[in-house]
Chain A
Amino acid sequence: MAEAHIPSLLLESVIYLGAAVLAVPIFRRIGLGSVLGYLFAGVVIGPWGLGLVADTDTVLHFSEFGVVMMLFLIGLEIDPDKLMELRLPIFGMGGLQVLLTAGLVYGVGTAFNLDWRLSLVVGMGVAMSSTAIAMQVLAEQGALNRPSGRSAFSVLLFQDLAVIPIMILLLVIAPGAHVSNGVHMDWLAILKAVALVILLILGGKYLLRPVLRYIANTGLREIFIAFALFLIIGVSILMTLVGLSMALGAFISGVLLADSEYRQELELDIEPFKGLLLGLFFISVGMSVNLGMVLQHPVLIVGLALAFVSFKLVLLFGLAKVFRLNNAGGLMFAVTLSQVGEFAFVIFSAAVDTKVISYEHSAVLNSVVAISMVTTPLLLLVYQFAYRRRLQQRRQNRKFDEFDEERPIIIAGFGRVGQIVTRLLTGVGVEPTVIEHDPNQIELMRSFGYRAYYGDITRPDVLRAAGIANARLLILAIDNAEDAIETARYVRQHYPDVKILARVRNRTYVFDYMDLGIDCVRETFLGAVHLGEKALREMGYTPFHAYSTAWKFRRHDEGMMRDLHPIHTDMQKVVSYNVRTRQDLQHTLSRDMEEIVAGLNNNIWGGRSEDSLSESEDGSPQSP
């Protein structure tokens, strides 16, 4: 009875999640990597394994959205300037890779007297690598910012771009398609596509930031996440409508938001969705491995997969050498991109739709692609084994490699306190990373030319993203005292090398910071002392005397904080200490006053030094 009420979506979710939770940790533990874990889970629960899930195609299409989100996140990491820097690897390496792979496969295919259309489609499909697998591998290896990682990413980006002309080409070479008709269609499609991209760029530049600010202003985190998802999905749908790739649209929106203050927040919010969807994507790839067909033609399918992978390995390594990567980097680059990617599925199914290839061919090819994807994690294991020593060396050097974007000082809070600290530091050329959770504040300071990131410093992931691991100094300038002390505790515990300076509400909190051994400044103390100094001047003190009195008071108070620290929990002791030291202070400050009145003070600017000269007939040290 209960069974009938469980929606199939929930049931399937439980199966997917359960399979992932069971398989992935085990695969990671034994060093095979998470991708292989997902793939294996997919094979097990798929129609050729336990057969728990039947409808693999729908899941595959749905989970391709993980790739879209991943490209959005990649876009966020790359502002337009960086993209320009990468233009040579994108078009040089990427272009060569796609053309050479497709051309050579086509050549071999026709040489074996295969249908030219089939050879061309296979060539174009094989040229594609899996963005999902490659990026996951690069991230797990920490290679994203290394030359090999950047090259791999550039090639993947070009492949994404290449999907568009390939789709058009499929229409053109479709049997029976009128060429003139095809070209006519293309012009309209291209016009629409270009118009949409321009619209996207303009909208991203002028519309997105105010809208994000408005949303962030609500203070509801789930609404912010909802909007982020809405943005990505919306853009993707628009792109599909004009025949562009969803991933490309997401990538463009990401790039447009790369220099916005919401970058980190967006990254952190989308990250878990991307992770889950990518996992689902890998699972569905595992499910789509048609074991029946593989068992029917084991030699053909496994042989083809191995042939494609080794062919790509050789070609990619050659390309890497041409573009001057070192051996380890080149091999990493080649292994990362050696599989045939998810875009191949898209190309093959489109080719079936346009009757360029037959369904049987595409079924065989899809199994080949899926098996080629399984090889990457295995090849990576071999690579790691071969280059373990080098990898370890590199890991030690990484401190210097990836420092570029991280700054030595992080300032939390961009309010009254954070602003002044930031201005002072920027004034001497030390630009800090500033994090603020109030969008209005960020916008206000932006109009003065100061830049802060939107984010909540109390969250460990925000701290991490801000680069706390490599920072030298964290300045806590946020208003919320509890949040500040919690953050200080967290950082002290997890990043003991980071020096912390804190703005502190009042005495009580000072003791908390002293317990942690953290240097802190009472936010109102110096201002109040300065006010007192001005009051003394109004009372007839000379400017210098007022200043030195205020200074003595300050020193007295700071000493008092040190004395009180060990006893501050005992109220009785604190009270008696206070009574005692108040007399001390009065004594110190008034003795000073008496000396001035008597003319015995050494301060020659006090206005009475002439008396002191005449009194000390033996020539006191201050005589000029």
Chain B
Amino acid sequence: MEGSRINRALLEAATGCECVQVHDLYATYPEQMIDVSHEQALVFQHDVLVFQHPLHWYSCPALLKSWLDMVLSYGWAHGDVSTQLAGKSWVHAISTGGADSVYQRRGYHHFTLAELLRPFEQSARLCNMQYLQPFLTQATDTLSDTALQAQADSYAAWLKELAEGDGPPVVESVQAEEAQYLEPVRDVKDI
């Protein structure tokens, strides 16, 4: 956080929202050990989980991954009888250094963000949660301070709508996926 311009601005915006409880994992667990029962209680109290993070190696930072590993345990978050999280929403607020154009089949990173984030989408499905369209802050390397402020403002507005049940659409990419895999040549034009 200390060195992060983008995520600090976004976090400040989130902190300003009454309807949002900010839970800074790196501040709470500097030793990267997670208090599972405390976290599960927190998750249980809320309807929407927003994971705000930069994209690290096409995924989330290590502590968030660790959080998923520990907190979403078998028998609580998923498994035959577990319905603790059913109906809750799972959504990411992700920042990337590159613009959207580099996350393209012919772009520098070769995969779309939607593709890269599919492990999260499936994780949400496994927990019977709704996986919503992420909030993206892209091309942060060239983002001006004014543009960043505007982005933070729209983040706050996005969070407010989310809390009022007026959030982004649910992502259901399974069918689209099948179609794309059947015709790989066409999807270049599509995206």
Residues of A within 8 A of B (CB): 547-548, 551-552, 555, 588, 600, 602, 604, 612, 616, 618-622
User: How far does the alpha carbon of A602 sit from the alpha carbon of B74 in the complex, in Å?
Assistant: 8
Report B-chain residues with C-beta under 8 Å of the C-beta of A616.
74, 79
User: How far does the alpha carbon of A555 sit from the alpha carbon of B38 in the complex, in Å?
Assistant: 11
Q: Are A600 and B33 in contact (CB under 8 A)?
A: no
User: How far does the alpha carbon of A588 sit from the alpha carbon of B122 in the complex, in Å?
Assistant: 30
Q: Are B126 and A548 in contact (CB under 8 A)?
A: no
Report B-chain residues with C-beta under 8 Å of the C-beta of A622.
69
Per a CB cutoff under 8 Å, which of B31, B35, B37, B78 touches A620? B78
Query: Other than the known A602-B73, A602-B74, A616-B74, what 10 A-B pairs have Cβ atoms closer than 8 Å?
Result: A547-B33, A552-B35, A600-B73, A600-B74, A616-B79, A618-B126, A619-B122, A621-B69, A621-B72, A621-B126
Q: Are A548 and B74 in contact (CB under 8 A)?
A: no
Q: Are B33 and A621 in contact (CB under 8 A)?
A: no
Residues of B within 8 A of A (CB): 31, 33, 35, 37, 68-70, 72-75, 78-79, 122-123, 126
Given contacts A620-B78, A621-B78, A621-B123, whether A602 and B33 have CB atoms under 8 Å apart is no
Min CB distance A602 to B, Å, is 5
Min CB distance B84 to A, Å, is 15
Q: Are A620 and B33 in contact (CB under 8 A)?
A: no
Q: Are B33 and A548 in contact (CB under 8 A)?
A: yes
Report B-chain residues with C-beta under 8 Å of the C-beta of A620.
74, 78
Q: Are B69 and A602 in contact (CB under 8 A)?
A: yes
Q: Report 16 cross-chain contacts, Cβ distance below 8 Å, ordered by A residue.
A: A547-B33, A548-B33, A552-B33, A552-B35, A588-B37, A602-B69, A602-B73, A604-B69, A612-B74, A616-B74, A616-B79, A620-B74, A621-B69, A621-B78, A621-B126, A622-B69
**Chain A: CB-nearest residue to B126:** A621
Report B-chain residues with C-beta under 8 Å of the C-beta of A588.
37
Min CB distance B90 to A, Å, is 12
**Chain B: CB-nearest residue to A604:** B69
**Chain A: CB-nearest residue to B127:** A621
User: How far does the alpha carbon of A612 sit from the alpha carbon of B69 in the complex, in Å?
Assistant: 13
Report B-chain residues with C-beta under 8 Å of the C-beta of A555.
35
Residue of B35, B37, B74, B79 with highest tally of chain A CB at under 10 A: B74
Report A-chain residues with C-beta under 8 Å of the C-beta of B123.
621
Min CB distance A551 to B, Å, is 4
Report A-chain residues with C-beta under 8 Å of the C-beta of B122.
619
User: How far does the alpha carbon of A446 sit from the alpha carbon of B126 in the complex, in Å?
Assistant: 63
**Chain B: CB-nearest residue to A595:** B73
Min CB distance B169 to A, Å, is 24
**Chain B: CB-nearest residue to A551:** B33
Min CB distance A52 to B, Å, is 71
Q: Are B31 and A551 in contact (CB under 8 A)?
A: yes
Report A-chain residues with C-beta under 8 Å of the C-beta of B73.
600, 602
User: How far does the alpha carbon of A555 sit from the alpha carbon of B30 in the complex, in Å?
Assistant: 13
Min CB distance A530 to B, Å, is 13
Report A-chain residues with C-beta under 8 Å of the C-beta of B75.
600
Report B-chain residues with C-beta under 8 Å of the C-beta of A602.
69-70, 73-74
**Chain A: CB-nearest residue to B68:** A621
**Chain B: CB-nearest residue to A555:** B35
User: How far does the alpha carbon of A619 sit from the alpha carbon of B73 in the complex, in Å?
Assistant: 13
User: How far does the alpha carbon of A548 sit from the alpha carbon of B70 in the complex, in Å?
Assistant: 12
Min CB distance B108 to A, Å, is 25
Report A-chain residues with C-beta under 8 Å of the C-beta of B79.
616
Min CB distance A623 to B, Å, is 10
Min CB distance B80 to A, Å, is 9
User: How far does the alpha carbon of A616 sit from the alpha carbon of B72 in the complex, in Å?
Assistant: 14
Min CB distance A88 to B, Å, is 44
Report B-chain residues with C-beta under 8 Å of the C-beta of A551.
31, 33
User: How far does the alpha carbon of A621 sit from the alpha carbon of B37 in the complex, in Å?
Assistant: 18
The 10 closest A-B pairs by CB, nearest first: A551-B33, A602-B69, A621-B123, A602-B70, A600-B74, A602-B73, A622-B69, A548-B33, A621-B72, A555-B35
User: How far does the alpha carbon of A555 sit from the alpha carbon of B70 in the complex, in Å?
Assistant: 16
Min CB distance A606 to B, Å, is 12
